[in-house]
Amino acid sequence: MKTILLIVISVLLAGNAGAAKKKEKPVSDREYWTNLLYQLAEPVLINMSEGKLAAEMQVEVSPTWDGRDIRVTYMECFGRLMSGLAPWLSLPDDDTPEGEKRKHLRELALKSYAHAVDPQSPDYLLWRSEGQPLVDAAYVASSFIRAPKQLWEPLDEVTKQRYIAEFQQLRRIDPPNTNWLLFSAMIETFLLTVDAQYDMYRIHSAIRSIENWYVGDGWYADGPHFAFDYYNSYVIQPMYVQVLQILVDRKIRLRDKSLESVQKNLEVAKKRMQRFGIILERFISPEGTFPLFGRSMTYRLGVFQPLAMLSLNNMLPQELTEGQVRAALTAVMKRMFAQPGNFNEKGFLKIGLAGHQPDIADWYTNNGSLYITSEVFLPLGLPANHLFWTAPAEDWTAKKGWGGESFPKDHAIRE
């Protein structure tokens, strides 16, 4: 009798456990995105806000590291993280769990910005030696451009003037004739937006070069020669559009161009980015993977920055719906970050694409470089009730095609 009673109790308990399991609320895509971004950002900002990033971050460099000052790691980490994080932090405060995370990170970020330019802080960044600071100052500038009211305006006047001085002294660096021209242009464009002295030549020379480097069907070369890699994603497409947009918004004409001509440049650049976004979406396999080619593959989800930026700016082409883009990007995130080994024991990223794969690093790669992956999270700058988040998830192009469903034919764009 006792045995029978124990069996009955076990069955009832198992049934209750099953019922409880069924009642668990599924995690929405937005909740998954915000949790993952918080996981990336919190270890960086909680340490830097206290001036402890340099002391606490476990630095990892490429096996083929070129010997430059290892302190470039901290600037790469902070600048790249903030560029992708900024739109989310620009949303207004609310009392939701997401809102609490967002407010916490914004408070940490503002303190971190102050440490970054305070010469007395242990986390004063490497502004005044090496050439690499030009790159990551551009990502810091991008963060201010993307969230001026939340990340620039609250800074005290001393900190603001320090940033202006640090940005202006970077003119000591002569950028190579590559995507680096856009880093100079981004910095000078930010200075323009805060009514500081800026160098129009650096902006104009970058625009002329990018125009000349267009090779067709949404792709730019990275300098005089084309390379099949993802630098259209990491730098060229997003920064080119950011610079042009500010010139148009501010009604700034270039020496040999009318205001109408600059506006036309922007419209064409956006159409090219839309085409490139279509290509990126088609790169995503039914399993949530994408082609691994070119250098800087350790930049992870930074590959999809143009697709994320199109979504943030309500610029998705008619060929792509919000539901399919969100579903595709979520699939890649889950495939990548389900792999063990992406983070070290202190929560900082480790070199790799999906897990720890140091042998795929380039000679300039450190684990600060990897925080460009935050650029995929730009759509979090859209409110939770935006169509990007509320639209039903849809199969993306490759999933439709390889699943035997009808899918849109593809075609090149011509100008």
User: CA-CA distance, 346 to 44, in Å (whole number)?
Assistant: 10
Question: Which residue range is the domain that position 218 belongs to?
Answer: 28-402
pLDDT of residue 257: 76
Joined tokens for residue 15: 């049934």
Contact predicate 58/119, CB 8 Å:
no
Whether residue 49 lies inside any domain: the answer is: yes
**In this structure, what CATH number is given to the domain that contains residue 304?**
1.50.10
Contact predicate 273/199, CB 8 Å:
no
pLDDT of residue 18: 53
Query: Nearest 5 degrees, angle CA 236-CA 154-CA 302?
Result: 25
**pTM score above 0.85:** yes
User: CA-CA distance, 226 to 127, in Å (whole number)?
Assistant: 31
Largest Cα separation within the chain, whole Å, is 96
Angle, helices 200-212/237-249, rounded to nearest 10 degrees = 130
Contact predicate 279/218, CB 8 Å:
yes
Contact predicate 175/187, CB 8 Å:
no
User: CA-CA distance, 217 to 220, in Å (whole number)?
Assistant: 9
pLDDT, averaged in runs of 10, over the chain (415 residues): 48 51 81 98 98 98 97 98 98 96 98 98 96 98 98 98 98 97 98 98 96 98 96 98 97 84 95 98 98 98 98 98 98 98 98 98 98 98 98 98 97 91
pLDDT of residue 23: 66
* Residue of 268, 292, 139 lying closest to 216 (CA atoms): 268
* Residue of 45, 74, 48 lying closest to 61 (CA atoms): 74
Q: Which residue has the tokens 């080119």?
A: 240
Q: How many CA within 13 A on the CB side of residue 334?
A: 15
Q: Which residue has the tokens 């916490």?
A: 104
Whether residue 8 lies inside any domain: the answer is: no
Whether residue 17 lies inside any domain: the answer is: no
* Residue of 87, 91, 60 lying closest to 76 (CA atoms): 60
pLDDT of residue 11: 45
Whether residue 3 lies inside any domain: the answer is: no
Domain count, the chain: 1
pLDDT of residue 230: 98
Contact predicate 321/256, CB 8 Å:
no
Whether residue 2 lies inside any domain: the answer is: no
Contact predicate 19/85, CB 8 Å:
no
Whether residue 1 lies inside any domain: the answer is: no
* Residue of 414, 406, 87, 10 lying closest to 218 (CA atoms): 414
pLDDT of residue 6: 46
Whether residue 5 lies inside any domain: the answer is: no
Whether residue 384 lies inside any domain: the answer is: yes
